[in-house]
Chains A and B, each alone.
Chain A
Amino acid sequence: MDAKTRIARRVAQELHDGDVVNLGIGLPTLVAHHLPSNIEVCLQSENGFIGLAPLTGEPEPGLVNAGGQPCGLAPGGAMFDSAMSFALIRGGHVDVTVLGGLQVDQHGNLANWMVPDKMIPGMGGAMDLVTGAKRVIVAMEHCTKDGAPRLLERCTLPLTAAARVSLVVTELAVFSCDRGRFTLEELAPGVDLATLAARTGAGFDLALPAAAHHRNSLRSMC
């Protein structure tokens, strides 16, 4: 299983039956393919509807996801304009937003919309989503292509929003952010703490009892 699939599968476990969820473009979109069969979530698409579903059959005129790709519409869906869409997002009516990230820091800050002088796509709906959703989950690969850590003490890239990230899921681990520290909630199978620490640009606390379990398994592996 590749890193992205592993991350998407793990994020899917965070969603609950009945949640209203917005999935960002790219990796977060994959989460929809890994939802447990016993839950139903309602996907919000910021271009103006509730009920985003996979495309089945021929594309329908005007029906695209927030990446501009043809998509489907679940029964019970609803279409609306951009003001309503962002009233839902900003107004706390979206339970979970899952977004990609360039950097996340221990204060819960997220940077994911630009790299000065290099890549300036714009924030699109990301700033509103991170500010307004009840829970913000960042789904990203643990390090950059060059191997630099993305989890940091302090983001160096321009922020998308301050102190809003609840959970970070990477292919190596799951961290929560609270009170200015990362807490390791879960270690991916086959990953040891020393490797994780070496690839993480900030200190982290261990959550109990899950981390204790990993410590024990680490000891037993040694």
Chain B
Amino acid sequence: MQATDTKRRSKLACPDELNHHLRDGMRIMFGGFMGVGTPERLVAAILRHGARRLTLIGNDTAFPHSGVGPLIASGQVERVITSHIGTNPVTGRKMLAGQIAVELVPQGTLAERIRCGGAGLGGVLTPTGVGTMVAEGKMRQLIDGREYLLELPLRAELAILHAKRADQAGNLVYERAARNFNPLMALAADKVIAEVEEIVDTGEIDPDQVMTPGILVDHLILAESH
């Protein structure tokens, strides 16, 4: 009886699940740092689906053939909000040609804006960017004699995450530096889909080891076996 319940409550979905959540013009957050911690099977699914005019939000645009890179090359992306595009020359070329709009955000500010978006906060005051181009057009605030910039929250309609392990309830455990933006994005999107390398029964992950609570995860997709 209990086993049946567990199965019924499983968030494991078939790889096509993503298709139900994609549409043109949507904002998608993706976990990963230089492709490490990016769900490449879900990236491939977006490529196959062909959704266009996408806005991508993530740390960097990785490399032309890994991470989120292939989506940049495919022409499906209209806009990127990111901290770094230097390792993917395709992003730079498309930006200079006017084919992709790139909003560059300092990495720590990007993390905090996403955190704000997921944590119900109206923004964050950061000293990062004061006295630089990043400050242009932003509200400034002096606190105890130090200048801060108001940075606004970021949210998306969909977040695609990568984790090492999940249980059927969607609790996630990340591996090494593949954690990066994934836990922050789990909070900041209307729909959250995690690609995981391994799924275990609910209860098998020690609650102390859970890095993203399963209540934040809508669907689990298994990464292709290696």
Contacts and interface: CB of A to CB of B under 8 A. Distances in A.
Given A80-B179, A120-B95, A47 B33 contact: yes
Given A62-B37, A125-B106, A82 B181 contact: yes
Interface in A31-47: 45-47
Contacts of B35: 68
Contact of B86 (A66, A86, A122): A122
Contact of A49 (B85, B128, B177): B177
B182 A81 contact: yes
B128 A82 contact: no
Interface residues of B, number: 49
Contacts of A122: 60, 82-86, 102, 104
Interface string A159-175: 11111000000000000
A62 B104 contact: no
Contacts of A79: 174, 176-177, 179
Given A68-B36, A82-B107, A86-B107, A120 B180 contact: no
Task: Classify the interface of chain A: helix, strand, loop or mixed.
Answer: loop
Contacts of A176: none
A73 B176 CA distance: 10
Given A124-B84, A125-B107, A162 B132 contact: yes
A75 B87 CA distance: 30
Contact of B83 (A60, A109, A124): A124
A86 B179 contact: no
Interface string A125-161: 1111001100000000000000000000000001111
Contacts of A21: none
Given A62-B175, A67-B34, A89 B180 contact: no
B111 A121 contact: no
B183 interface: yes
A79 B107 CA distance: 17
Contact of B34 (A64, A120, A131): A64
A132 B128 contact: yes
Nearest to A68: B34
Contacts of B63: 68
Contacts of B110: 82
Given A82-B180, A83-B115, A122-B85, A127 B132 contact: yes
Interface in B167-189: 174-184
B194 to A, nearest CB: 15
Contact of A121 (B59, B85, B112): B85
Contacts of B96: 117
B109 interface: yes
A63 B176 contact: yes
Interface of B: 33-37, 59-60, 63, 82-87, 92, 95-96, 102, 104, 106-112, 115, 126-134, 164, 174-184, 211
Given A47-B34, A79-B177, A81-B179, 16 more contacts: A47-B180, A63-B177, A66-B33, A68-B34, A81-B211, A82-B33, A82-B180, A85-B111, A86-B108, A121-B87, A122-B83, A123-B83, A123-B106, A123-B134, A127-B107, A131-B128
